[in-house]
Amino acid sequence: MFYKVGTHKDHGFHHDPFKAFVSPRPIGWISTLSQQGVSNLAPYSYFNAVSSDPPVVFFAGGSKRGIGGPKDSQRNAERTGEFVCSIVCHAQRKQMNITSLHLPHGEDEMPKAELSGEPSVLVKPLRVKGAPVHLECKYLQSVQTPCWSENQENWVIFGEVIGIHVDESIIKNGYVDVTLYRPVARLGYMEYATVSEVYTMDRPD
């Protein structure tokens, strides 16, 4: 089957399958501070690493539900120049989901999800306590991408990772063992996967 983007309903799909095709996607659990110093936390599965020398990550956001304009994570990262990305482990999957609540700007998602924050070292936003890895990021730039929905915008927000916290319990013989924390990935629809099994493949040359 081939279909032109936007015509999936004519081809028997009940829901746009795009996100199911580009999966699994890691989830960046983005914490920021507003200019008034209020903590904000939200999951983004349009999230990934784009380089490692230096490490650079991005998260991509649409507009804030109901009122338009950038989502709080983007707005705070742009205004304060900092964000932290905590990595979501299986044990915190339900709390991660709760932090996607659409709260008014200036309301902290952490207490709603019974989470607490820990201070970072090089940046001001808090890290999610209990997460196995935290990436402290310096905001680099935002790039606007096309948007077909009225009064909505899409943006990609890049940050350079300048400090990393690792829970030492996930390190085995000098390597990170992801099966010890089981990162959560987003699939299509409301589906998720947890990495609990890995295999290795040598490069051909």
Residues near ligand FMN (CB under 6 A): 27, 40, 42-46, 60-62, 64, 71-73, 97, 100, 102, 186
d(CA 159, CA 150) in angstroms, rounded, equals: 28
Structural contact between residues 43 and 31, judged by C-beta atoms closer than 8 angstroms: no
**Residue 125 burial (CB count, 10 A):** 26
DSSP strand pairing (171-172 vs 25-26): unpaired
d(CA 111, CA 125) in angstroms, rounded, equals: 15
Smallest gap from residue 43 Cβ to ligand FMN (A): 4
Smallest gap from residue 28 Cβ to ligand FMN (A): 8
Which one, 152 or 169, has the nearer CB to ligand FMN? 152
Smallest gap from residue 173 Cβ to ligand FMN (A): 32
Smallest gap from residue 40 Cβ to ligand FMN (A): 5
Smallest gap from residue 81 Cβ to ligand FMN (A): 16
- HSE, side-chain direction, 13 A CA sphere, residue 62: 12
Which one, 1 or 190, has the nearer CB to ligand FMN? 190
Which one, 94 or 172, has the nearer CB to ligand FMN? 94
Smallest gap from residue 70 Cβ to ligand FMN (A): 8
Which one, 20 or 201, has the nearer CB to ligand FMN? 20
Which one, 76 or 120, has the nearer CB to ligand FMN? 76
Which one, 23 or 97, has the nearer CB to ligand FMN? 97
